[in-house]
Amino acid sequence: MENFEDTLRHDLHQFLQSIKEVDERLPECPDVEEKWEAVAKAYIPDGIREFQDFPSASLGWMMYLGMAVAKMWDTEWEIYSKIEDLYGYLRDKRGYDAMDEYIREEVLLLEGIDYTVLEKLTGECASRVYNALMRQHFEPGTRDAFNGFVSCLHQLYLMGAAVQLKRMGYHMTKMN
């Protein structure tokens, strides 16, 4: 499973780098990374339920969550870091189905072309990851299928955070 997640990371990184959404070196943001486990635990019941009928949304919403947590880290981390269930906090603003819109509008403060571009970007990343997951031919309902799904969510969360950090002006460059 580790190899599958490494492949996902590499593919998403290469794709996002090719369209200049991330730098060659991915950012390190331990505060955002530390929230992954809590966000995932809270998200997985909803994500699994939605996956059957809406796989791109089920996967893509996690990329939005990574972006939202990165934005929260940059703005009011003293406040947001104390919220135990960041996923529930974001979901409950408008509900699961409209969480993507809420994050784009109210957290990332996007409108117009920027709003649409991010929607397309997230959809493309979710589609890429979904296709990679389907190529694994995991038997539905198995531990491998679950672990594959979680690997997809993890990489989308991390890439979402990376995209947002770059958009906010954080760049990872090698120091001499």
pLDDT in tens, 78-93: 999 999 999 999 999 9
Residue 146's identity, in one-letter code, is F
For residue 172, pLDDT beyond 70: no
Cβ-contact 172, 28 below 8 angstroms: yes
Beta-carbon-side half-sphere exposure of residue 89 (alpha carbons within 13 Å): 16
Return the pLDDT at 27. 87
Distance CA 34, CA 139 (A): 30
Q: Which tokens hold the place of 32? A: 């955002």
Return the pLDDT at 175. 54
Distance CA 154, CA 64 (A): 12
For 115-147, the pLDDT digits (tens) are 999 999 999 999 999 999 999 999 988 999 999
Return the pLDDT at 170. 83
Task: Give residue 176's pLDDT band: very low, low, confident or very high (50, 70, 90).
Answer: low
Task: Give residue 32's pLDDT band: very low, low, confident or very high (50, 70, 90).
Answer: very high
Report the pLDDT averaged over residues 86-107: 96
Cβ-contact 46, 91 below 8 angstroms: yes
Return the pLDDT at 28. 85
